[in-house]
Amino acid sequence: MKLIKTLLATAAALLAGATVSTPALADITVGITLPLTGPASGLGIPMQNYFKLWPTSIAGEKLNVIILDDATDPTKGVQNARRFVSEDKVDLIIGSAATPVAIPIADVAMESGTVQLAASPIGLPPGKDAWSFRLPQSNDVMAFAVVGLMKKQGVKTIGFLGYTDAYGEQWLKSITAEGEKNGIKVIAVERFARSDTGVTAQALKLSAANPDAMLIVASGSGAAMPEKAIVERGYKGRIYQTHAAATKDLMRIGGKDVEGTFVVSGPAVVGDLLPDSHPSKKLAMDFVAKYDKAYGAGTHNQFAGHAYDALIVLEKVVPVALKKAKPGTREFRAALKDAIEGMGRTVFSHGVMNWTAADHWGYTSETGVMLVVKNGDWALAN
């Protein structure tokens, strides 16, 4: 009997030792900062809607998602990001959908060694994006599509009306450079703040310059106001908008004044219009079906599509990173970065992505889809 007790005690000790030495699996935590209030809320709210449709686990590990409002305020966005890395110990940061907010978050990502999936086309100096990857297409890629259509339509001169912030500045540089390559010149430039409620003076100056086309650089519901001002001043030329305006809010608020407007977008919002040969058609239609089933027919927009694509990223790279480290550690965060850079050609609802260590933008110049507002809905422009 004494021998049996000794053997049982030894077995129990060995079992306990084995239990202690086996590393416990940790939850995967994602911190998301979005403009749920403020001027860019029309971008953040649809993204939040799709994040709510995410699964509760990835690669067999529990997925924790923390969503905070940055109120379209860079200071608040940085506060959210610092909380994510210091208190919540997140494995990855997503955000913001507002470019001026997402840019300073890149500094937090770099300092902490945490991957940032930016939900806006942030422009960063070389090396500053070491830990930041963009879910949206670059302004250069989208300007390529815009200028391509302008050239076909015989446009020679452009009037520019855009935000005073980083998004507006980046687009001005992109459209100027791409236009000059194709014999198209920006002849008049006017700016306005995201919070402005009117642009009458700017619209008058641009209309007086009478360019062949106007490019408006604004986002979400805020993109309708400047276009209406231009139309009300009697401008009769072609009007173009950027991918930040590729939402139904443009039509809802702009009404008849935005009919015939050309808008560049990723393929996510127009899967049903794409040819069967388009690589993103299947995923674009899947995204729209899931979003509209949850929130109502026709409510999807391209920003929600970025949330759909972010899940594609995680489902591809998390299993790879788990082979090197467990969530909640610096090693796991580094493994996620390496896995994203080595992800290879990956089809998104927004196009074909191919991030590398040298390229944290990823999309090719053929990504942009030119749309036109026709009878209050989207149609392919070309």
What are 246's two structure tokens?
Answer: 């590729």
Q: What are phi and psi of 259, to 5 degrees?
A: -60, 135
- Please give the DSSP secondary-structure letter assigned to residue 356: B
Domain count, the chain: 2
What one-character-per-residue DSSP string does 214-241 give?
Answer: EEEE--GGGGHHHHHHHHHTT--SEEEE
- Domain that residue 298 falls in: 28-137+288-353
Q: How many CB atoms lie within 10 A of CB 230?
A: 22
Q: What is the DSSP string of 16-32?
A: HHHHHHSPPP--EEEEE
Other CB atoms within 10 A of residue 293 CB? 10
- What is the reported pTM? 0.83
Q: Are residues 156 and 228 in the same domain?
A: yes
Phi–psi pair at 338, nearest 5 degrees: -60, -40
Residue 264's Cβ-side half-sphere holds a number of Cα atoms within 13 Å equal to 29
Regarding whether 258 and 148 lie in a shared domain, the answer is yes
Evaluate whether residue 50 is within a structural domain.
yes
Q: What does 107-160 look like in DSSP terms, one character per residue?
A: HHHHHHT-EEEESS-----TTTTTTEEESSPPHHHHHHHHHHHHHHTT--EEEE
The dihedrals phi and psi of 63, each to the nearest 5 degrees, come to -110, 120
Residue 56 lies in a domain: yes
Clarify whether residues 144 and 260 are in a common domain.
Answer: yes
Do 81 and 47 reside in the same domain of the chain?
Answer: yes
Q: Are residues 248 and 204 in the same domain?
A: yes
Cite the DSSP H helix spans in the chain. Answer: 2-21, 41-51, 74-83, 99-112, 139-152, 166-181, 200-209, 224-232, 248-254, 281-295, 302-322, 330-341
Q: Which residues of the chain have pLDDT under 70?
A: 1-25
Give 31's strand partners. 66, 93
Structural domain includes residue 302: yes
Q: How is residue 165 annotated by DSSP? A: S
Identify which of 192, 174, 190, 194 has the alpha carbon closest to the alpha carbon of residue 101: 194
**Same domain? 114 vs 147:** no
* pLDDT attached to residue 13: 42
- Strand, helix or coil for residue 191: strand
The confidence score (pLDDT) of residue 367 equals 86
Whether 381 is covered by a domain: the verdict is no
CATH at 231: 3.40.50.2300
Measured distance CA(321)–CA(332) in Å, rounded: 6
Are residues 130 and 150 part of one domain? no
Q: Write the pLDDT tens digit of every residue in 277-321.
A: 999 999 999 999 999 999 999 899 889 999 999 999 999 999 999
Q: Based on the domain organization, do 150 and 244 belong to the same domain?
A: yes
What pLDDT does 126 receive? Answer: 86
Task: Supply the pLDDT for residue 25.
Answer: 53
Structural domain includes residue 85? yes
In a domain, 126, yes or no: yes
Give the pairing of strands 213-217 and 238-241: parallel
CA 66 to CA 84: how far, in whole Å?
Answer: 9
Judge if 127 and 145 occupy the same domain.
no
